[in-house]
Chains A and B, each alone.
Chain A
Amino acid sequence: MSLERSIFVDPSRCIGCGACVAACRECDSHRGKSMMNLDFLNRGESTLALPTVCMHCTDPVAPCAQVCPVDAILVSDDGVVHSPDPSRCIGCQNCVHGCPWGVPKFDVEEQLAHKCNLCYDRTSVGLGPMCATVCPSDALYYGTADEVLASRPNRKVVDVFSFGAQELQSGNWVVVPDEFSVLTFPMVGP
């Protein structure tokens, strides 16, 4: 299972405009709800921001799906980790707290967890996901590693991360400076 084209997250390029958050809300597969997470580090003093999309973990496959007690999260053959099936989700929030990236959101009223599904209505027919399509600085880019590396000197792309003692491979990628090694949580550089 691997994504033919993926999202490349480059935190150093994020200008915190929020276009990804707004565009995500327009996706047909979760209309009106944004699955994007955009976090500001020190808003009063800095423009630093980090956009977070689902990384569609491949190894171990989707921890969110593995901790789900009712198999509500489908991982399709193309490697996309889907949003919990509303008919199955029992609102336990295991996925919300089990995801190492902090991606799934929980709607208390609907007792339903939601997460980014890579805009499956679009990406399954060859279109880009909403967030990457509107990102003005390509902090979120949808394409191939070759395309990213060709346009960004002194950068490399990584899909292996360490969260404490756990190593994790993802379907989406993070763009990092050349000197970075495996990114640990919290990332500690080379």
Chain B
Amino acid sequence: MAALVLVALIWLGSNQLANFDSALIGYAVGIVALTYAVVMRYARWLRMPSTGRYWRRGWQLTTSWSSFRTLPGLLPRAIAGQLLLQGFIRRRGWVRWIGHQCLFWGVIGATLITFPLVFGWLAFKLEPGTQEMYRMWVFGFPTITFDSTSFLGWSLFHALNYTAVLVIIGCAIFLWRRFRDRAAIAGQRFGYDMVPLLMLIVISVTGLLLTVSASLFHGSYYDFLVVIHMAAVVLSLVFIPFGKFFHVVQRPASVGIQMYAELNGREGRRPCAKCGEPLAPDLFVQDLQSTLQDLGQDYRLDGASMPAGHLTELCPRCKRVARAEGYFAHDGSSFAR
């Protein structure tokens, strides 16, 4: 359904294919296939008990009347913090943050340029009677004109080169980390952690080489580079639902989690049933209990021996301490009494 909607939008947005560049058909097919695969994967992901519950609860809280007043401030703050500025990565390390910001803005920029171009939503056409003046068309409507030999013109036609440089810087930082940082080396997997970086580098380098070929070498190897570039892009697109790239699709959920936590936490946290320290919002504990039940796991406790009715009503420390108390109370031979 989503793929069909996209095809319909391509038809409409490209002025019934009048602005569609047939040389980019490979990318268009790749993106339509990607849409299908991502929506399928997303639907499967939402079927997981915890994900589905957060999804439903997130929308419920977001659209509730009681959230209405706080939402206009909360939502932009969550989007800016979680998705755009990514302060949580900065707190994991400045170098990681710089690398991720380069990758993030490079990929976002490239996507915002490439997808509309491929779909024919964005087109550049030579103005009649001129040699260098171009007009930008958006969704079939004429917009600004510019001189293609000016800096603005060069930048518009080569904007993908800027994004490619950002991506290469980001990938270089993360590759350096993957070869030097012992924490990263310890748990990394080639297919999951290295291949995405290598694919992004191949895309960016071949993209830059297209400009080099056209500008400096009269188009030498241009056709070959076009094929390699397109193959790398389409392969990466198809790879998105199955590997590390899927975190791009998953990450916006952190906005929902922040809203869930803040909206839910306004009424305070319920106390741990054993020590009385603040534990978590009541709704969170109830949702977690429901999730565990959906998973077929039953952590209800015998109320006679414990103050809690369910294991999740205890804080992590009290879970450990209760276990220790039970152990030592029955360790008849222990020196420890």
Interfacial residues, chain A to chain B (CB-CB below 8 A): 11-12, 28-31, 37, 39, 41, 46-50, 52, 60, 63, 66-71, 82-83, 86-88, 90-94, 96-105, 109-112, 117, 120-121, 154, 163-166, 176-177, 179-180, 183-190
Residues of the B chain whose Cβ atoms lie less than 8 Å from the Cβ of A121: 182, 185-187
| A48 close to B329 (CB less than 8 A) | no
Report Cα–Cα, A86/B250, bound state, in Å.
13
Residues of the B chain whose Cβ atoms lie less than 8 Å from the Cβ of A189: 326, 329-330
Report Cα–Cα, A154/B332, bound state, in Å.
12
A30-B183 CB under 8 A given contacts A39-B324, A164-B310, A188-B326: yes
Best-buried of B244, B317, B323 by chain A (most CB within 10 Å): B323
A70-B250 CB under 8 A given contacts A11-B327, A102-B319, A187-B323: yes
Residues of the B chain whose Cβ atoms lie less than 8 Å from the Cβ of A166: 297-299, 311
Q: A28-B186, A121-B187, A163-B301 are in contact. List 11 more A-B contacts (CB 8 A).
A: A37-B320, A39-B317, A67-B291, A92-B257, A97-B284, A97-B285, A97-B316, A164-B301, A164-B311, A177-B334, A185-B301
Main secondary structure of the interface of B (DSSP, over half): helix
Nearest A-chain residue to B310, judged by Cβ: A164
Residues of the A chain whose Cβ atoms lie less than 8 Å from the Cβ of B327: 11-12, 50, 176, 183, 187
B331 proximal to A (CB < 8 A): yes
Report Cα–Cα, A190/B329, bound state, in Å.
12
> How far is the CB of B298 from the nearest CB of chain A, in Å?
4
| A69 close to B51 (CB less than 8 A) | yes
B125 proximal to A (CB < 8 A): no
A177-B331 CB under 8 A given contacts A29-B183, A63-B292, A188-B326: yes
Residues of the A chain whose Cβ atoms lie less than 8 Å from the Cβ of B185: 28, 121
Report Cα–Cα, A11/B135, bound state, in Å.
76
Best-buried of A31, A101, A104, A165 by chain B (most CB within 10 Å): A165
A-B contact count (CB 8 A): 196
**Closest 4 A/B residue pairs (Cβ):** A189-B330, A187-B326, A186-B326, A121-B186
| B328 close to A41 (CB less than 8 A) | yes
Report Cα–Cα, A120/B328, bound state, in Å.
31
| A39 close to B50 (CB less than 8 A) | no
> How far is the CB of A158 from the nearest CB of chain B, in Å?
11
A29-B288 CB under 8 A given contacts A11-B324, A87-B244, A166-B298: no
Residues of the B chain whose Cβ atoms lie less than 8 Å from the Cβ of A186: 305-306, 322-323, 325-326
Size range of the chain B interface in the assembly? 35 or more
Q: Which of B91, B288, B316, B321 contacts A67 (CB 8 A)?
A: B288
> How far is the CB of B285 from the nearest CB of chain A, in Å?
7
Report Cα–Cα, A60/B311, bound state, in Å.
16
| A177 close to B326 (CB less than 8 A) | no
Give residues 242-259 of B contacting A (CB, 8 Å): 244, 247, 250-251, 253-254, 257-258
Residues of the A chain whose Cβ atoms lie less than 8 Å from the Cβ of B91: 109-110
| A90 close to B251 (CB less than 8 A) | yes
B48 proximal to A (CB < 8 A): yes
Residues of the B chain whose Cβ atoms lie less than 8 Å from the Cβ of A112: 88, 92
| A88 close to B50 (CB less than 8 A) | no
Residues of the B chain whose Cβ atoms lie less than 8 Å from the Cβ of A82: 187
| B299 close to A165 (CB less than 8 A) | yes
Give me 10 A-to-B residue pairs in the complex whose CB atoms sit less than 8 angstroms apart, sorted by A's number.
A12-B327, A29-B183, A30-B183, A41-B324, A66-B297, A92-B54, A164-B302, A165-B300, A186-B305, A186-B325
Nearest A-chain residue to B245, judged by Cβ: A87
Residues of the A chain whose Cβ atoms lie less than 8 Å from the Cβ of B288: 67, 94, 97-98
| B336 close to A69 (CB less than 8 A) | no
Report Cα–Cα, A187/B323, bound state, in Å.
6
Residues of the B chain whose Cβ atoms lie less than 8 Å from the Cβ of A163: 299, 301, 311
Nearest B-chain residue to A50, judged by Cβ: B324
Residues of the B chain whose Cβ atoms lie less than 8 Å from the Cβ of A154: 333
> How far is the CB of A160 from the nearest CB of chain B, in Å?
14
Best-buried of A66, A99, A112 by chain B (most CB within 10 Å): A66
Residues of the A chain whose Cβ atoms lie less than 8 Å from the Cβ of B51: 69-70
Report Cα–Cα, A190/B326, bound state, in Å.
12
> How far is the CB of B263 from the nearest CB of chain A, in Å?
14
Residues of the A chain whose Cβ atoms lie less than 8 Å from the Cβ of B88: 91, 109-112
